Amino acid sequence: MREYIRKSSLGIPAVLTLLLVAAATVCSPAASADVVIGNFEDGSTDGWISPQESVASVAGKGNTLGGSSAGVTLLGGFWGLQTVNLNPNRDAFLKANFLSFDLTFIQADLQGANFAQTKEFALHDSSGSFVQRQIATGPAGAKDSDSLMPPATAGQWQGTDGTRTLKIDLNSFAAPTPQATGGETSYKQYLRNHPEIASFDIWMSFQSDSLLATYYIDNVKLLIPGDFTQNGTVDKDDIPAMLAALADLSAYKASHNNMSDATLTSVGDFNSDGLVTNLDIQGLLDSVASSPGGGSIAPVPEPASWFIAALALPALALARRRQSG
């Protein structure tokens, strides 16, 4: 085979490369999940619903990713937003340390409210689980944050218009009762132990003293440590992405939708010193090496073999004809 490739004048190696790329693309065993689970563009709520209030895609307000956000309008209930079923993103959810989103309060749209807040979050699934907790002042050790407010007032509007990034520590949701009977202590352990759960989602509260008050949410992400490419998985591609980021953190943040420092830390601070530096490179290398197939050059997935063979045969036959002709 090498002989044919070397002697061919038809650029056969390039053809084979293309075939391999095509095969890897077509036969990739698992499409990587997108780290963004809520963008709300072009009139779409991305399958998100409001259990008790009203939600719509709103152009031009609170949009920190693209041109629209999710506008949630209070109708007198408590739960403002329910994500789409996250089961297609189960792997990303289990690897993620945080749910992150940008929250915007605009006084004129709060309809004269004296207070408005999103403070309660819940994990809910098709097994009947419902695990609820409060941001920042909830369970001890939860690493929640609000980029605009201290923990005591996290998620609260305090009279100033603006956008803040909220981060909810996904490792600090307890295992559900009475559903968890396998000794699980966290919700993520419970979900990991129950692959039969076909549907799970996250609920977010919205409270205000003013009916029809509206607030805005956008750029909802699952933050996975080491995911420098921001594609929802951690693999070898994240290593050069991290090295490039370390060479110019400002440029990296700018090229990722003006990523906040809090988000950058969630992605890249492996040694927990609150910074992203060269000292964190080893943490990513360890993470990639310990992931399936991460410690060596990834083999072509088994199901792709027939595909490559089927596609390569005509090319080789062509090379053979040329050589003999």
Q: Which residues bind Ca ion (CB under 5 A)?
A: 39-40, 63, 65-66, 68, 218, 227, 229, 231, 233, 238
Q: Which is nearer to Ca ion, 138 or 225 (CB)?
A: 225
Report the nearest approach of Ca ion to the CB of residue 42 (Å).
9
The closest of 200, 176, 210, 187 to 86, measured between CA atoms, is: 200
Question: Helix count (H) and strand count (E) of the chain?
Answer: 9, 13
Burial track 168-183 (b if 16+ CB lie within 10 A, e otherwise)? bbbebbbbbeebbeee
- Phi and psi at residue 322, to the nearest 5°: -65, -40
CB 170, min distance to Ca ion, A: 18
CB of 151 to Ca ion, least distance (A): 27
Task: Measure the CA–CA gap between 123 and 209, rounded to whole angstroms.
Answer: 25
Separation between Cα atoms, residue 237 and residue 52, nearest integer Å: 42
CA distance 57 to 69: 6
In the complex, the smallest distance separating the C-beta of residue 309 from Ca ion, rounded to whole angstroms, is 30
Least gap, CB of 45 to Ca ion (angstroms): 11
User: With respect to Ca ion, which residue has the nearer C-beta, 12 or 35?
Assistant: 35
Which is nearer to Ca ion, 65 or 304 (by Cβ)? 65
Q: Which is nearer to Ca ion, 61 or 194 (CB)?
A: 61
Question: Using an 8 Å Cβ cutoff, are 114 and 213 in contact?
Answer: no
Of the candidates 89, 79, 182, the residue with the CA atom closest to the CA atom of residue 127 = 182
Nearer to Ca ion by Cβ, of 48 and 307: the residue is 48
For residue 231 the two structure tokens come to: 């594609």
CA atoms within 13 A on the CB side of 44: 11
Residue where the block lists tokens 């410690």: 295
Query: Which residues, other chains included, contact 220 with Cβ-Cβ below 8 Å and sequence gap of 6+?
Result: 36, 37, 38, 39, 83, 99, 100, 101
- CB of residue 228 vs Ca ion: minimum separation in angstroms? 6
Nearer Cβ to Ca ion, position 50 or 233?
Answer: 233
Q: Which is nearer to Ca ion, 102 or 201 (CB)?
A: 102
In angstroms, what is the minimal distance from the CB of 322 to Ca ion? Answer: 41
- Nearest CA to 81 out of 104, 110, 48, 42 is that of 48
> In angstroms, rounded to a whole number, what is the distance separating the alpha carbons of residues 161 and 57?
20
Q: Cβ 83 to Ca ion, closest distance in Å?
A: 14
Smaller CB distance to Ca ion: residue 298 or 310? Answer: 298
